[in-house]
Amino acid sequence: MFDFVRAHTRLTLGFLLLLIIPSFIFFGIDGYSRFTEGGNATVANVDGQAITRAEWDQAHQRNVERLRQRSPELDAKLMDTPQARRESLDLLIRQRVLLAAARDQHLAPTDQRLQRLFTTDPQFAGLRNPDGSVNRELLSAQGMSSELFAAQLRQDLAMQQVLGAITETALAPAASVAAAVEPLLQRREVQFQRFDPATLRNGINPSDADLEAFYKANEASFTSPEQASIEYVVLDLAALGAGVAVSEEDLNRYYEENRSRYAQAEERRASHVLVKADASMSAEAKAKAKARAEELLAQVRKAPETFAEVARKNSEDTGSAASGGDLDFFGRGAMVKPFEDAAFSMKPGEISNLVESDFGFHIIQLVATRGGQARPFAEVRPEIEAEVRKSLAQKRYAEIAEQFTNTVYEQADSLQPAVDKLKLSKQTATVQRQPAPGATGPLASPKLLEALFTSDAIQNKRNTDAIETGPNQLASARVVTHSPARVLPLAEVKDAVRQRVIDTQAAALARQQGQARLAELQKAPTGPDASAMGTTAIVSRDQAQGVPKALLDAVLSADPEKLPLLTGVDLGPQGYVLLRVNKLLPREKQPQEDAEWQKQYALIWGSAEARAYEAALKRRYKVEIVEAEVAAGSKPAAAGGQ
């Protein structure tokens, strides 16, 4: 129902994402010169504070590295444009403006709020230790300290608050929503009569002259693309791991040192009786609840076999009381801490003392335990061997990568020396200048394909340089045979040409028949007659019923004041359609539909207001761009830059 608006929402979010994470690229020799000689040049001012070319270049460099880590196969040259660099400057300006607004509006979040956000927001789950603290090792792997992470999080939250005051308070009056939504969901009753080219093809027999004329007019459609047959070698962790020798002694040692990793998580099954006592209760009421819990504890201690019955009759946990207090199996972290500590310290059959939590007083009976034992070595041996091989391969990768790079460069007439020296496999493929749909690994790398189609690689059949085609993956390739693009002769493509001519002539014939029928109906004394048309359908933008877009546009653009309306639509290869728009129908309302549309409308309107507010902030904080310096700093990096 909401596909149309959702599509536009994605466009809006995509645009915002482009602003938040712009395209960046490393600068080369020319960029290095600009950094050293003109790094202090001011490219923009925000609130009286300068943004220098050095700051611009540094942000550009950091973000392209982040982008390359996410998408190693991305061709950096595609983003080495003045437009991409200008987008990076726009991002810096936007950040400075929002930070200035956050400062003046006193929106700096407190340490307590930062901690609460970090421990509760799902997006930070991967950075949290089990106790809720930050995982410093993961941050370090990303080149950040916990202090830097906290500062960045504080800035991000402050900027979000500046715009959140706009985006989260957008109004969506019912009248405005209706005015926007009604044209989208308005329905029309329509009849179609189609003239299908498929039914006319059998009677068409084009002459050789027709085929030759069509071929000459459309030669570009019958071109064999440029392609090359290549051989290539890949150095990655899988290739290195295959050649690593691992002894049984090493595998056993690794198992003993990491035994806890191969243990099944310990779980406990318990039942409980709950007497509620939350923090809002008075001391007197809480004391009564505790006394009641102590009475029940004495009762089940005296007759443990009655625990389930006591829970059914007395437990105030509505989720488990009906099943005799049974909580099924649970692991650590599933229950509140006092309950978990008690349950994991008990033995099966044991009944606990009173356990107090935020929910009240619990009486726990441990029913069973499972897990906690290490899986046997024989069961996990394949996993251990794979991990050990990968670990050893990672340690060797840097050294072997240098040997690989030097070998394919120094002995550039063949890949065989690299194959023999490093025990690699040589593979073959046929490629074009762009990655084929569904290509994976090195064959999906635009950088490798670009290197293969240089004049040196094609004419001299020399190895490409070692090219990074993925994380911990290098590849080199050489052209074996090269086939330039060429127009295929008519004799080779005559059948395809014949089919194209038949399709074209059939479509033209369908159009002629449809237009003749339209003229005939329009001349009728009483106007277009519904009985002369085909099947009736009810269509709208959100319920197109499979109607092609061109046809749907014709239906919905018909003037409601002139209905019924008869017209024709040429669908090209799909034929010709007569349509009769009979009447306008109101939209069908579904339960909760208006509320959903209001949310969508508020989201889009809030985004528009936020952009307008940003523009106003730029004027308030006097954003000035030094166009001459920006133009000088927007030149693409010189060849040879990384």
pLDDT of residue 477: 96
* Lowest mean pLDDT, pick from 6-15, 130-139, 199-208, 624-633: 6-15
pLDDT of residue 479: 96
pLDDT of 2 strictly over 50: no
Tokens of 422: 């490093």
pLDDT of residue 74: 64
Helix, strand or coil, per DSSP, at residue 607? helix
pLDDT of residue 484: 93
pTM over 0.75: no
CB-based contacts of 327: which residues, under 8 Å, 6+ apart? 269, 270, 271, 272, 320, 335
pLDDT of residue 218: 92
Strand order of the β-sheet with 536-539 is: 536-539, 187-195, 576-585, 565-570
Q: 261 or 236, which is more confident?
A: 236
Q: For the chain, what percentages of helix, strand and coil (3-state, to nearest 5) are there?
A: 55, 15, 30
pLDDT of residue 6: 34
pLDDT of residue 36: 40
Distance CA 75, CA 25 (A): 10
- Determine whether 379 is exposed, middle or buried from the number of CB atoms within 10 Å of its CB (0-12, 13-18, 19+): exposed
pLDDT of residue 15: 33
pLDDT of residue 483: 93
Question: What are the pLDDT digits (tens) for 142-153?
Answer: 667 778 888 888
pLDDT of 592 strictly over 70: no
Q: What is the 3-state secondary structure (H, E, C) of 37-95?
A: HHCCCEEEEECCEEEEHHHHHHHHHHHHHHHHHHCCCCCHHHHCCHHHHHHHHHHHHHH
pLDDT of residue 10: 36
pLDDT of 33 strictly over 50: no
Greatest mean pLDDT among 277-286, 320-329, 632-641:
320-329
Calculate what percentage of the chain has a pLDDT beyond 70.
86
Q: Are strands 49-52 and 42-46 parallel, antiparallel or unpaired?
A: antiparallel
Distance CA 318, CA 379 (A): 42
Question: What are the pLDDT digits (tens) for 446-483?
Answer: 999 999 999 989 999 999 999 999 888 999 999 999 99
Question: What are the pLDDT digits (tens) for 528-547?
Answer: 555 667 778 888 877 777 78
pLDDT of residue 24: 30
Question: What are the pLDDT digits (tens) for 285-297?
Answer: 999 999 999 999 9
pLDDT of residue 318: 85
pLDDT of residue 243: 63
pLDDT of residue 272: 96
pLDDT of 19 strictly over 60: no
pLDDT of residue 141: 67
Q: 502 or 396, which is more confident?
A: 502
pLDDT of residue 525: 56
Average pLDDT for 180-198: 84
pLDDT of residue 416: 95
Question: What are the pLDDT digits (tens) for 262-273?
Answer: 777 788 999 999
* Whether the bond into 564 is cis, omega within 30 of 0: yes
pLDDT of 7 strictly over 50: no
**Which architecture does CATH list for 264-370?**
Roll (3.10)
The domain covering 3-168+619-633 belongs, at the CATH homologous superfamily level, to: Porin chaperone SurA, peptide-binding domain (1.10.4030.10)
Average pLDDT for 371-398: 78
pLDDT of residue 31: 38
Average pLDDT for 231-260: 78
pLDDT of 353 strictly over 90: yes
Distance CA 252, CA 376 (A): 11
pLDDT of 278 strictly over 50: yes
Average pLDDT for 502-522: 92
Q: 26 or 465, which is more confident?
A: 465
pLDDT of 73 strictly over 70: no
User: Quick count: other Cβ atoms within 10 Å of Cβ 484?
Assistant: 10
Distance CA 130, CA 340 (A): 14
pLDDT of 404 strictly over 60: yes
Average pLDDT for 384-410: 83
* Lowest mean pLDDT, pick from 174-183, 227-236, 469-478: 174-183
pLDDT of 113 strictly over 90: no
Greatest mean pLDDT among 81-90, 171-180, 457-466:
457-466
Residue with tokens 């799909």: 574
pLDDT of residue 78: 61
With cut-offs at 50, 70 and 90, classify the pLDDT of residue 397: confident
Q: 595 or 363, which is more confident?
A: 363
Average pLDDT for 479-492: 93
Q: 442 or 34, which is more confident?
A: 442
Question: What are the pLDDT digits (tens) for 154-165?
Answer: 888 888 888 888
DSSP label of 515: H
pLDDT of residue 265: 76
pLDDT of 26 strictly over 50: no
- Spans of all domains in the chain: 3-168+619-633, 187-221+491-585, 227-238+396-484, 264-370
DSSP label of 173: -
With cut-offs at 50, 70 and 90, classify the pLDDT of residue 136: confident
pLDDT of 403 strictly over 60: yes
Mean pLDDT of the chain: 82
Tokens of 50: 């300068």
pLDDT of residue 507: 94
With cut-offs at 50, 70 and 90, classify the pLDDT of residue 642: very low
CB-based contacts of 34: which residues, under 8 Å, 6+ apart? 27, 53, 57, 632, 633
